[in-house]
């Protein structure tokens, strides 16, 4: 099939590349000429394991086309995916849909024969209805079907999630569109994943409901971790014991920093905003958002406590600053408010992240990016493991720090508390 991905951000690029690897011809469209030029030169703008290899392979086979020409891409495609950003509007909880509607208005001018238009971007309930109103003349002529097909790609594991999805959600009442999309997804749905056809509003809601539930699990286990610290219980044991219950499951029950990234923070806020518009109270989701914000400052206060309130001129090392491993995404990462606060208190911050130096910290006083773990840890007063990259799972802290007294704050509970004690390393974990 011939597909058009409008937007080459995370969702659009990963989905487009993976669809091309299934044998489809895919046009990836973006108005950013520099980004398109880079992609045409094989330069991938995001950090995602395996993506560059698949991109180059399909680009060389001419199944993957990067262009700024929206009209050409749409006219040559059977299915149009809207993959533009839907960030939170400034000073609100609502999703900013201006890019989605801008695309719809452009499509209105181009389409002259039947196309399936799919919102892949995460959008609030009724967004599809609003797109349909924009395209009402095309809809009446039966030239378009507007579908919701939310993505469930995890950063760092997106390729696997695309090829082996838990489910494929298709929101449409069009039998024609459903038949075509089932055929499109056939190479992956026959690998035991579930293909679920529901209403368009139902599909839109499933995405938000899923993300809010996962965010709830994270906030819940983080709050339990606080209690475990007070009671002398190891949160890892609690998480493991809970996870054995099939009704609960083990995933997303790992205590650590606040959740971040491009999805959970904005989607929980947008779901609350939608509930308010429909005059419905989502008190649980509201509590989750509050708890997550409080988490960032709780961890910072814990650093103060570890250093006995003496922060000025202390050398603090952050190992990993992204919100999760195997991605370069810094959106809503808890490292940002922590490093901002500690630098203002007079700490000397050094950090190392396998995904490279971050723009977020370039203009902050007393913050230094190090090119390797050794230079980041040397003579450090406190080593903080913020992100669980594989690079940080087997470290000789004595050799790295080269100080008599070594203090480690393991925010991911990678290391054994007992082994650290036996090595005479002052060790702090989460909820233990």
The string of pLDDT tens digits covering residues 225-254 is 999 999 999 999 999 999 999 999 999 999
pTM summary value: 0.94
Q: Which pLDDT value is given to residue 191?
A: 77
Average the pLDDT over each of 162-176, 181-195, 271-285 and give the range with the smallest value: 181-195
**Average pLDDT estimate for 171-184:** 98
Catalytic residue among 263, 347, 370, 377: 263
Contacts for 170 with CB less than 8 Å, ≥ 6 apart: 147, 148, 149, 178, 181, 182, 195, 196, 197, 198, 203
DSSP state string for 355-397: T---GGGTTSTTEEE-SSHHHHHTT-SEEEE-S--GGGSS--H
Please state the rounded mean pLDDT for residues 157-177.
96
Q: Please determine, for residue 55, whether its predicted confidence score (pLDDT) is greater than 90.
A: yes
Band of the pLDDT at 193, cuts 50, 70, 90?
Answer: confident
Is the pLDDT reported for residue 192 higher than 90? no
Which architecture, in CATH terms, is 2-198?
Answer: 3-Layer(aba) Sandwich (3.40)
**E strand segments, 68-166:** 79-82, 115-119, 144-148
Where do the CATH 3.40.50.720 domains begin and end in the chain? 2-198, 232-432
Record the tokens describing residue 380, joined without a space: 């450090």
Q: Is 370 part of the annotated catalytic residue set?
A: no
Average pLDDT value for residue range 265-286: 97
Provide the token pair at 98: 């201006």
The matching CATH number, chosen from 3.30.70.920, 3.40.50.720, 3.30.1330.10, 3.30.9.100, for 232-432 is 3.40.50.720
Q: Determine what percent of the chain is predicted with pLDDT higher than 70.
A: 100
357: Cβ–Cβ under 8 A, 6 or more apart, which residues?
A: 369
Residue 360 has pLDDT above 80, yes or no: yes
Question: Taking all residues of the chain, what is their mean pLDDT, rounded to a whole number?
Answer: 96
The yes-or-no verdict on residue 328 having pLDDT over 90 is yes
């Amino acid at each position: 099939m011939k597909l058009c991905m409008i937007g080459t951000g995370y969702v659009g690029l990963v989905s487009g590349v993976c669809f091309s690897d299934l044998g489809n011809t895919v046009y990836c469209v973006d108005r950013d000429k520099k980004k398109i030029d880079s992609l045409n030169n094989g330069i991938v703008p995001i950090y995602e394991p395996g993506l560059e290899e698949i991109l180059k392979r399909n680009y060389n086979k001419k199944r993957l086309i990067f262009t700024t020409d929206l009209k050409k891409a749409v006219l040559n495609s059977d299915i149009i995916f809207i993959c533009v950003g839907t960030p939170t509007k400034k000073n609100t909880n609502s999703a900013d849909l201006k890019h989605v509607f801008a695309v719809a208005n452009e499509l209105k001018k181009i389409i002259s024969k039947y196309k399936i238009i799919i919102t892949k971007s995460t959008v609030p309930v009724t967004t599809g209805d609003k797109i349909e109103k924009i395209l009402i003349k095309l809809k009446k002529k039966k030239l378009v079907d507007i579908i919701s097909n939310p993505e469930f790609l995890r950063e760092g594991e997106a390729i696997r999630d695309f090829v082996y999805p838990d489910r494929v959600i298709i929101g449409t009442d069009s039998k024609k569109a459903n038949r075509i999309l089932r055929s499109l997804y056939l190479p992956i749905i026959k690998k035991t994943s579930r293909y679920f056809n529901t209403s368009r509003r139902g599909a839109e809601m499933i995405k938000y409901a899923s993300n809010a539930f996962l965010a709830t699990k994270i906030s819940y286990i983080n709050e339990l971790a606080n209690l475990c610290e007070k009671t002398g219980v190891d949160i890892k044991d609690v998480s493991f014991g809970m996870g054995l219950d099939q009704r609960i499951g083990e995933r997303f029950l790992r205590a650590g920093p606040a959740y971040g990234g491009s999805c959970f923070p904005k989607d929980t806020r947008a779901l609350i905003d939608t509930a308010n518009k429909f005059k419905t109270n989502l008190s649980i989701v509201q509590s989750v958002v509050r708890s997550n914000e409080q988490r960032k400052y709780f961890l910072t206060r814990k650093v103060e406590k570890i250093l006995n309130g003496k922060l000025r001129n202390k050398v603090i090392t952050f190992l990993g600053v992204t919100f999760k491993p195997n991605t370069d995404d810094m959106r809503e990462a808890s490292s940002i408010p922590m490093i901002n606060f500690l630098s203002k208190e007079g700490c000397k911050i050094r950090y190392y992240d396998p995904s490279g130096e971050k723009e977020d910290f370039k203009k902050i006083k007393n913050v230094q990016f190090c090119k390797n773990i050794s230079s980041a840890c040397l003579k450090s007063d406190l080593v903080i493991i913020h992100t669980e990259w594989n690079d940080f799972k087997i470290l000789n802290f004595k050799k790295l720090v080269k100080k008599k007294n070594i203090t480690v704050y393991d925010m991911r509970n990678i290391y054994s508390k007992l082994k650290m004690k036996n090595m005479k390393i002052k060790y702090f974990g989460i909820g233990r």
